[in-house]
Amino acid sequence: MSAITSGRAVDGALWCAVATTADTLIIHLYGEVDMASERAFRDLGAALTRWRPTHLVVEAKDITFIDCAGYRLLLAVQTAVEAYGGTFVLRAPSPALSRLMSLFTAGVRWTHGAVHTPGA
């Protein structure tokens, strides 16, 4: 696994670290995911349509705050990945995200699990 970038995102209190394997993009989110994160997620969506990773894993254990706008952004990323045939995994939802997810369980298709490991 090689780290591509790490640091503070331009939008508010959202931090992220990005790593890749041969066919997997892993994004570790830190801090707040809300309406102020929209630009970063829009940029991510555009990048996903170019890169088309087979698997996208969003590491969510360090999300300290998420509101409905942030939740909608995660759903949009999931939809974009699935639209081109990729898989989306939301790994280790934080307590903040878990609380919000419990309010919106109907029809949500989150996949919880580990990073896909080729040949495992």
In contact, 19 and 26? CB cutoff 8 Å: yes
Confirm whether 76 is domain-assigned.
yes
Mean pLDDT over the full length of the chain: 79
* 109 inside domain: no
Domain membership flag for residue 26: yes
What CATH code is carried by the domain that includes residue 79?
Answer: 3.30.750.24
| Domain housing 8 | 2-103
Question: Each residue of 26-74: pLDDT tens digit?
Answer: 999 998 999 888 888 878 877 887 889 999 999 999 999 999 999 989 9
Nearest to 26 by CA among 34, 13, 14, 17: 17
Averaged pLDDT, 88-106:
86
pTM above 0.85, yes or no: no
- Considering the domain boundaries, does residue 120 fall inside one? no
